[in-house]
Amino acid sequence: MTFELPELTFVSILDYVGTLAFAISGIRLASAKRFDLFGAYVVGLATAIGGGTVRDLLLDVPVFWMHNGIYFIINLVALLLVGVLGKVVIRQKNTWFIFDTIGLGMFAVIGIEKTLAEGFPFWVAIVMGVLTGSGGGVVRDVFLNDIPLIFRAEIYAVACVLGGLAYWAFWALGFDSVGCGLVCGIVVILSRIIAVRYHINLPTLRGEEHET
């Protein structure tokens, strides 16, 4: 067994930081619901790799984690961090918020670029950016038997849409993929930080008065 250990580039480090933050968010919520160690591990994993997995199935390309075991190891690290350090880790809310937001931006860029590389048009790439960034959180909440958080609160997916539009605009202006990706990531991260800082939420529809 060889975990094809990938070279550590700037991009891959951000990817792994995001993976760790996503995994911790899943493990934290799973342990709050008294999931056992295995359940917490699976929920952490689903949060971290769920979006990218669905993306790769839709694109019909090899699923990324099946060729790189590092994501399973990062998730194990996340489990150990939460298990050993417990509340000390969990209370670093601001740190994890920043890491989680970096991960969101990174995942959106990866989703967009992987989709463009397969020859799909930009609107599909933006959909895949959103899916890569926020799909894992949906799987996490389905496993936790909660209504997916991103459907009710938080400018999370919308930050990915804005980042995707920025990528598209800069690409149309002639920037290369490094420039476009950088702008995209920055737009995602700033959008989310501004939204959280100023309590900006999307409105709800007033279609019906009460639940059915």
* Residue 157 touching a second copy (CB under 8 A): yes
- Token code pair at residue 148: 């997916």
CB of 65 to a second copy, least distance (A): 9
Of 124, 179, 138, which Cα lies nearest the Cα of 26?
138
CB of 159 to a second copy, least distance (A): 11
Q: What is the DSSP string of 42-70?
A: HHHHHHHHHHHHHHHHHHTS--GGGG-TH
CB 191 within 8 A of CB 159: yes
Among the listed ranges 8-16, 66-74, 96-104, 106-114, the one in contact with a second copy (CB under 8 A) is 66-74
Q: Choose, by CB under 8 A, the member of 11, 17, 77, 90 that binds a second copy.
A: 90
Nearest-10 Cα torsion for 149, 152, 155, 156? 30
What interhelical angle do 10-32 and 70-80 show, nearest 10?
50
Enumerate residues 6+ apart whose C-beta is below 8 A from 177.
113, 171
CB of 10 to a second copy, least distance (A): 27
* Residue 145 touching a second copy (CB under 8 A): yes
**φ, ψ for residue 102, nearest 5 deg:** -60, -45
* Residue 207 touching a second copy (CB under 8 A): yes
Residue (10 or 206) nearer to a second copy, CB: 206
Q: Choose, by CB under 8 A, the member of 11, 17, 58, 190 that binds a second copy.
A: 58
What is the Cα Rg of the chain in Å?
17
Binding positions for a second copy, 176-205, rule CB under 8 A:
201-205
CB of 175 to a second copy, least distance (A): 17
> Could you give the CA distance from residue 43 to residue 59 in angstroms, rounded to a whole number?
24
* Residue 36 touching a second copy (CB under 8 A): yes
Binding positions for a second copy, 103-122, rule CB under 8 A:
120-122
CB 23 within 8 A of CB 74: yes
* Residue 21 touching a second copy (CB under 8 A): no
* Residue 5 touching a second copy (CB under 8 A): no
- Residues forming contacts to a second copy in the complex (CB under 8 A) are 1-3, 27-40, 42-43, 53, 57-58, 60, 62-63, 66, 69, 72, 79, 82-83, 86-87, 90, 120-124, 127, 138, 142-148, 150-153, 157-158, 168, 201-208, 210-212
